[in-house]
Amino acid sequence: MERCMNLIGHNNGPTIEKGQGWRAHCWKKARRELLPQLPLEVIRMRVKRAKQLGLEYKTYASLRSASGRDVIAFLFSSNSLRIFKTNEALPEDREARLKAVQKCGKLLLVSKPLQPEITKARILQDHGIVLDDVKSAPRFTDGWAEVKSGVRAVLDPMKLPGAAVVMVGDTSWEREWTVAGKLGSYLPAEIFFGDRTN
């Protein structure tokens, strides 16, 4: 059995040898001790904050755990909002979801042919949604340094710490923006907007 413990992929968890019950008990106790013991009042505050952000508590807790910070802004891609052309309206589900977000910044990176100022004005005029800032999204041909500066261009003027910003995107390319801009987390659009098909 000792040979088995050294195989690739083995997580060194409890075995079925003698003493398995005791080892399982020790394993569970060690796992419990790794989890933070939060006071009830802190949990209540975090549940309230999750509601303000329109997130399930579990999702909010995982975002907070990943970055170690509260979410102070969401950075959306135009893909995640399903806006692809200048004259295209924001879909109703996206509009409702954005309006539900409270006490949190809303930023947007738009891909061509969309223009930042026109898109920002249209979303405000047509839907009554205030976006804190809108900038042009990095292009596929941009190098890593350009992607980083493209993402930071929307955060730096407002002095937002990247670790407290969550990227809501729709493609693997947008997931890379999270790393380049040193953002707190990446949240797929289907989770944020609740449009999972399965």
Query: Could you give the domains of the chain?
Result: 40-192 (3.40.50.1000)
Distance CA 33, CA 28 (A): 9
How are beta strands 185-188 and 105-110 bridged, if at all?
Answer: unpaired
Report the b/e string of 131-155 with b at 16+ CB within 10 A: bbbbbbbbeeeeeeeebbebbbebb
Give this prediction's pTM: 0.77
**138 has a pLDDT exceeding 50:** yes
**132 has a pLDDT exceeding 60:** yes
pLDDT interval class at 11 (50, 70, 90): low
- Report pLDDT for 106: 96
Distance CA 197, CA 177 (A): 25
**198 has a pLDDT exceeding 80:** no
Burial class (CB in 10 A: 0-12, 13-18, 19+), 193: buried
pLDDT interval class at 67 (50, 70, 90): confident
Please, what's the largest Cα pairwise distance for the chain?
70
The more confidently predicted of residues 51 and 36 is 51
Each residue's pLDDT tens digit, 98-128: 999 999 999 999 999 999 999 999 999 999 9
Structure-token pair, residue 30: 């060690």
DSSP 114: -
pLDDT interval class at 41 (50, 70, 90): confident
- Report pLDDT for 71: 94
The more confidently predicted of residues 139 and 195 is 139
